């Protein structure tokens, strides 16, 4: 027992020393580390499992859905059906021709690169683990609760109850971020319409309960890793929110777990990745699936991704969440009991990304 306590103490010490630098993972790379610190090394049994579950089907990919001509009645029906199949079978899909200009996407990526590669003292001013702060920079939000640290740094923006104050945003990515948020909100509304129709509901059903009103924007920066085979960029997890909309630069890293194997979600020119969150799995009464995914580490970099997590407006926190009543019948009983969203969020924040999803606490047998 004394031996385990010593290990725990050393790990805690290493975590605190890393966190106290406020320089994140990029700080390690800038310092020229050749061997990643022990806090980032995955357990041997996990590394072995990851290798055995690597995808062997190179011709199978996450569905790509073309949103062009979405206002044409017949084409819209085709799109809705593609969204339904992808949401039921994969829980993931990519969208192209979504009307977000390529320049907006590219400038967002560049803005995040500029933020992470600016003078480290400027980034340190924003470094925080205060969950109440709307804009903050840190490495691993669950650094002290996860089993293993992940190889990434993150700039987080929360606008669950209102749009962010531009003056709170870092100057180097302020304009690009504001423009990106404006476009993702518009696309989010469209996606929730399509998802509503795919569930057999009226188009405004999910938007009417505030699904697209509140979001959290994370900008992940994955520096090149000297030993990528020993760690991960993000541990395997499901997203706790309603829906995630993600843009990634040209470097691959995102993988989704499908039919017992990890499949790459390769970057597509101008494409955005969409995945079902745990809360939409609940709302749809498990018609749509929230599936595990992860990000691997790379020798090359930086890999940059910008996921926008739709959580719903802050007013939803005090409301009960459960399967949508129109989807419940004698032959399709509810799979989850109702719960307060604020209790669900509290469970998520008190745990780690690699722990079991909070919705499991509310699942009916």
pLDDT tens, position by position, 65-122: 999 999 999 999 999 999 999 999 999 999 999 999 999 999 999 999 999 999 999 9
Q: Are 126 and 115 in contact (CB under 8 A)?
A: no
Q: Distance (Å, rounded) from C-alpha 140 to C-alpha 129?
A: 10
Q: Are 270 and 325 in contact (CB under 8 A)?
A: no
For the cut 70, the answer to whether the pLDDT of residue 124 exceeds it is: yes
Q: Give the domain ranges of the chain.
A: 2-362
The pLDDT confidence band at residue 1, using thresholds 50, 70 and 90, is very low
Q: Which of 39-53, 163-177, 201-215, 328-342 is predicted with the least confidence, judged by mean pLDDT? A: 39-53
Q: Distance (Å, rounded) from C-alpha 210 to C-alpha 204?
A: 10
Q: Which CATH number fits domain 2-362: 3.10.450.30, 2.40.37.10, 2.60.120.330, 3.40.1080.10?
A: 2.60.120.330
Decide which of 3 and 125 is more confident. 125
Strands 232-237 and 293-296: antiparallel
Q: Distance (Å, rounded) from C-alpha 150 to C-alpha 296?
A: 9
Q: Distance (Å, rounded) from C-alpha 145 to C-alpha 260?
A: 27
For the cut 90, the answer to whether the pLDDT of residue 213 exceeds it is: no
Q: Distance (Å, rounded) from C-alpha 182 to C-alpha 85?
A: 28
H or E stretch including 341?
helix 341-349
Decide which of 8 and 318 is more confident. 318
Q: Distance (Å, rounded) from C-alpha 346 to C-alpha 86?
A: 30
DSSP state of 34: S
- For residue 38, the model assigns a pLDDT of 96
Provide the percentage of residues in the chain whose pLDDT is more than 90.
81
Q: Are 116 and 26 in contact (CB under 8 A)?
A: yes
Candidates 326, 164, 349, 94; CA nearest to 241 is 349
Question: Is the alpha carbon torsion for 197, 282, 148, 262 positive or negative?
Answer: negative
Q: Which residues of 102-136 are buried (b: 16+ CB within 10 A; e: fewer)?
A: eeebebbbebbbebbeeebeebeebbeeeeeebbb
Q: Are 91 and 290 in contact (CB under 8 A)?
A: yes
Candidates 183, 239, 179, 237; CA nearest to 212 is 183
CA atoms within 13 A of residue 80's CA, in its CB half-sphere: 19
For the cut 70, the answer to whether the pLDDT of residue 56 exceeds it is: no
- For residue 348, the model assigns a pLDDT of 85
- For residue 361, the model assigns a pLDDT of 92
* Average of per-residue pLDDT across 315-319: 74
* Average of per-residue pLDDT across 215-242: 96
């Amino acid at each position: 027992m004394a031996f385990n306590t010593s290990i725990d103490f050393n790990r805690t010490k290493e975590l605190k020393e890393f966190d106290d630098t406020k320089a994140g993972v990029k700080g390690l790379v800038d310092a020229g580390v050749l061997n990643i610190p022990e806090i980032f090394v995955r357990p041997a049994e996990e590394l072995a499992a990851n290798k055995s579950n690597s995808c062997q089907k190179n011709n199978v990919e996450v569905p790509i859905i073309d949103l062009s001509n979405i206002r044409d009645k017949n084409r819209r029906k085709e799109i809705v059906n593609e969204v339904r199949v992808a949401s039921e079978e994969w829980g993931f899909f990519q969208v192209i021709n979504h009307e977000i200009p390529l320049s907006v996407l590219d400038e967002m990526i560049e803005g995040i690169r500029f933020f992470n590669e600016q003078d480290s003292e400027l980034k340190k001013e924003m470094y925080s683990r205060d969950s109440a702060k709307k804009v903050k920079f840190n490495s691993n939000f669950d650094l002290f609760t996860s089993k293993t640290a992940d190889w990434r740094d993150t700039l987080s923006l929360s606008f669950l109850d209102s749009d962010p104050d531009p003056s709170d945003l870092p100057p180097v990515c302020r304009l690009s971020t504001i423009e990106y948020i404006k476009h993702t909100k518009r696309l989010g509304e469209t996606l929730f319409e399509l998802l509503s129709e795919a569930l057999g509901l009226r188009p405004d059903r999910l938007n009417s309960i505030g699904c697209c009103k509140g979001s959290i924007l994370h900008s992940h920066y994955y520096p090149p890793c000297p030993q990528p085979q020993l760690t991960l960029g993000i541990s395997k997890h499901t997203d706790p929110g309603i829906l995630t909309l993600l843009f990634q630069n040209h470097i691959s890293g995102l993988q989704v777990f499908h039919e017992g194997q990890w499949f790459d979600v390769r970057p597509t020119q101008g494409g955005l990745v969409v995945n079902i969150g745990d809360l939409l799995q609940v709302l749809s009464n498990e018609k749509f699936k929230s599936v595990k995914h992860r990000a691997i580490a790379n020798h090359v970099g930086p890999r940059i991704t910008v996921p926008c997590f739709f959580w719903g407006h802050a007013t939803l926190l005090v409301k009960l969440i459960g399967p949508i009543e129109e989807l419940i019948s004698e032959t399709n009983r509810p799979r989850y009991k109702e719960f307060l969203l604020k209790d669900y969020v509290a469970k998520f924040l008190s745990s780690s990304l690699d722990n079991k999803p909070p919705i499991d606490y509310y699942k009916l047998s």
